[in-house]
Structure 1
């Protein structure tokens, strides 16, 4: 296991390096001078030269990239001040440190991710297991039919519809907003309840279908049938043998979903007017703000890579037949 983790960590570092290099050098293929974004409309040559110096844009591009990488580990000095490690640079648009900007947005993204995760895992796995346990009954058909319908929903469509009903028409719930958990736990819960419900509704469909099909497949395995032939109860074999084996495909899609959600659900945040990592990524692309874009790209890629490593490691924990070489 330790060799596997070390090997995957080194591979992850290489992938992050390639992503950062590709993004950095592709950005400078754009003919527009990044310093013009920070200079504004009434920009003079002297002011533009000062911005180039303050942001380190007066150096060759390879030197700028090296300074950027070294700043992540040891910090970096800019004309606007010192940037402590991990330093992802200074925004071209507002001269704010990129790392502090991302850390301000990250709690909202974490809240959206893990709040909806709890809901759709509980609902999806529960419905899938019940559908497999009572295969062919009305319960199975109900859950399967509901998952087919909800899987076609899109956040940008169902989100405004639900808000129109629960917020603007009836006033039962407040408009989605983010309140820090440490400041007001109840306000944090109520402010994100609608996004959690919408995201859980859409994701639950995938986990219901996956849990059902995987469990039905496991129930046909020889070791499960042998356990039943030895006189073990159907409930015992269901949870002791079949359930554990069915987790492999569920863990796979769960790792992908968590990595994607932690990277920032751009559509979700724009739909509900929330300012998280997804909204920050969108604003950095529109504003051509390279340091912010780079920071979001690297952090998002790190989330996805870490989730994939954890998923691969969990395979050996869940299924003894899987071994990490």
Structure 2
């Protein structure tokens, strides 16, 4: 198991290094001059020269990349500002360190991701198991029908419709927004409920169809037929044997989906005006804040790679055959 994890971590580190290099190259491939963006609107030639020197843009590209890598593990100086490790740069728009900006935005994204993930995991897996348990009945057809509708809709459409109906017309839910749970737990829950429901509805469709198909496939396996041949009750066979065989594939896609949400649910946060990492990414594109965009990219990539390692470890624990691959 240890060797398995070492291989996975080493591979993830290599992939992350490639992502960092690609992101760094794209940073300097954009048509806008990073030094001019850093300098601001009123920028004299002397100020522009000082900005290039502060950012290290007057050095060779290889040297700049090396300083960037060193900054990630040991920190570096950006002009008169010391950027502690992991140093992701300095925001042109906020005039703050990128890591500090991301840290302010991350709680909103974390709240959105955890709440929605809990809902769509429970609803999706539950409805998929019900559909598989009562295959061919009205329960199966209802669950698969709702899943088909959910997979056909987009968040930016259903989110706007849900706000208009549930908030503006019927006034059943509060207007979406983020409040720190430490400040006001009730307001935090009320403001995040609608984004949770909408995001969970979209994701539930995937988990319903995936759980149903996986359960039906598992129910046809030899070990399930053997359990039935031994005279075990149908409920025991379904929940103890078939459900356990479905846990590993579901855990795989759940880990990746959660990582994507933690990396920033761009459309959801923009639709509901949630001040998270996804909304920050959109703002950094419109304002050409390249350090922020690089930081968001690295955070999202790291979240996905870490989730892959965790999922692989869970999969290896559930299925020892994976450890030899």
Q: Does TM, scored on the shorter chain, surpass 0.5?
A: yes
Confirm whether residue 99 of structure 1 aligns to residue 106 of structure 2.
no
> Displacement, 1:235?
0.9
Question: Judging changes above 3 Å, is the alpha-carbon distance between structure 1 residues 230 and 182 closer, same or farther for their aligned structure 2 residues?
Answer: same
Structure 1: tracts of 5 or more residues without a match: none
Local SS of the residue matching 1:264: coil
Structure 2: tracts of 5 or more residues without a match: none
Contact 2:269 2:276 in 1 (8 A): yes
Local SS of the residue matching 1:77: strand
Give 1:212's aligned residue.
212
RMSD: 1.5
Question: Judging changes above 3 Å, is the alpha-carbon distance between structure 1 residues 321 and 56 closer, same or farther for their aligned structure 2 residues?
Answer: closer
> Displacement, 1:77?
1.5
Confirm whether residue 57 of structure 1 aligns to residue 77 of structure 2.
no
Contact 1:34 1:288 in 2 (8 A): no
Q: Structure 1 CA distance, aligned partners of 2:105 and 2:44?
A: 34
Give 1:192's aligned residue.
192
Contact 1:260 1:304 in 2 (8 A): yes
Q: Structure 1 CA distance, aligned partners of 2:324 and 2:62?
A: 39
Local SS of the residue matching 2:176: coil
Q: How many residues align?
A: 325
Question: Judging changes above 3 Å, is the alpha-carbon distance between structure 1 residues 319 and 13 closer, same or farther for their aligned structure 2 residues?
Answer: closer
Q: Which sits farther off after the overlay, 181-190 or 281-290?
A: 281-290
> Displacement, 1:42?
2.6
Contact 1:80 1:95 in 2 (8 A): no
Q: Structure 1 CA distance, aligned partners of 2:167 and 2:300?
A: 32
> Displacement, 1:294?
1.7
Give 1:227's aligned residue.
227
Give 2:28's aligned residue.
28
Aligned pairs (5 A) from 1:252-263: 252-263=252-263
> Displacement, 1:223?
0.8
Give 1:315's aligned residue.
315
Aligned pairs (5 A) from 1:1-325: 1-325=1-325
- Compute the TM-score of the two structures, normalised by the length of structure 2: 0.95
Task: Provide, for residues 153-191 of structure 1, a one-character-per-residue CA deviation record: whole Å limited to 9, x for no partner.
Answer: 110000011101122223332211111122211111111
Q: Structure 2 CA distance, aligned partners of 1:286 and 1:317?
A: 44
Structure 1: 4+ residue segments shifted above 6 A:
none
- Compute the TM-score of the two structures, normalised by the length of structure 1: 0.95
Local SS of the residue matching 1:246: helix
Q: Structure 2 CA distance, aligned partners of 1:5 and 1:280?
A: 33
